[in-house]
Amino acid sequence: MERSNQFVGQSLAFLDAVERASRAAPLNRPVLVIGERGTGKELIAERLHHLSSRWSGPLITMNCAALPETLIEAELFGHEAGSFTGAAKTRHGRFEEADGGTLFLDELATLSSPAQDRLLRAVEYGEVTRIGASKPIRVDVRIVAATNEHLPKLVDEGRFRADLLDRLSFEVVTLPPLRVRQGDISLLADHFARRMAAELEWPQWPGFTQRAVAALEAYLWPGNVRELRNVVERAVYRAEDPDCQVDALQFDPFHSPWAPADSASAAPLENPEPSAPREAPAAEIPALTATDGLRSAVNAYERALLVEALSRNRFNQRATATALALSYDQLRHAMKRHKLQESAAA
């Protein structure tokens, strides 16, 4: 099933960002979209294009980080035949391809200094010059650019042109990370789960257990919506009974007791704890029976989070405490309360 690109969310922070993009869409001005990975920057770019008067024109996307520095300028502005080794024929650049439409530049902060210089001229004068050409070409292109970097800081560090930032920042839409979008995690999880259930041809979507929903809402989601979608779809397709609520979640798909150790993890840990368990416990949250009370469910959930965090940090207790936003003493106390140290020593 093809994944449809649509906005799902009800939190004020998310709706404010979408509203700002919608208001800027009809204006023929550049827009910067700022946000962590997986927050939906490309969806905002698509919205800016489709709600503008350029909706019938092309929407051209270029990931500035996906190309080596030597090819970025040729990709953006094109080149004439014979302008450099390998340039067998004339090629239009992304600006020419986007003429009459929108050019979405993802990972803008990775642009080299020469490419920034040429981009500034294209934005300021509406002209591009192919590599190896002597005459500029007029283009009618709206720029939408995205990054997860703080561009004013890069300007202060001399890594980004201040005048280019001034030209591109007519409007800045900053997307909130998923962890602050109150109420959106369970809404998105249900949305992705229903689509996956339909793809698997389940007769209906039975839903998540309350404990699974609590686990989803407690996780910090460093990969934001993209990571949530993967976790949810993985949980649904792994479920064995389409009539039972989905309970088992695996946040880290790379977790395995047989995972190869990298050089960092193989090195001696700072302040190693002799009581750390030697084998990786399962990262999946254990199932509870219908007879479990609330206190038992909460204790089991807390223990599962501790076990998973310890496993993810390869049982470095100081790193685990940092990951869980606990002090070292708080983590030690929690491990003692759940008898994790005793079971490890046994």
pLDDT per position as a tens digit, 126-181:
999 888 888 899 999 999 999 999 999 999 999 999 999 999 999 999 999 999 99
pLDDT at 272: 44
Q: What is the pLDDT of residues 279-303, one digit of tens each?
A: 444 445 555 554 556 677 777 788 8
CB 95 within 8 A of CB 141: yes
| 3 state DSSP class of 144 | strand
Please report the pLDDT score of residue 288 as a whole number. 53
Model-level pTM? Answer: 0.72
User: Residues of the chain with pLDDT > 70: what percent?
Assistant: 86
- The candidate with the shortest Cα–Cα distance to 283, out of 259, 258, 309, 262, is 309
State yes or no: pLDDT of 87 exceeds 80: no
Average pLDDT on 13-21 reads: 96
pLDDT at 329: 77
CA distances in angstroms from 197 to 94, 183, 190, 235, 239, listed in the order given: 39, 22, 10, 11, 10
Predicted confidence (pLDDT) at residue 103 exceeds the cutoff of 70: yes
List the domains of the chain with CATH numbers: 12-176 (3.40.50.300), 182-345 (1.10.8.60)
242-286: per-residue pLDDT in tens? 999 999 999 999 988 787 876 544 444 444 444 444 344 444 555
- pLDDT confidence of 94, banded at 50, 70, 90? very high
Q: What is the pLDDT of residue 286?
A: 53
Mean pLDDT for the chain?
86
Buried b (16+ CB within 10 A) or exposed e, 69-79: eeebbbbbbbb
Q: Which of residues 118 and 272 earns the better pLDDT score? A: 118
Predicted pLDDT of residue 138: 94
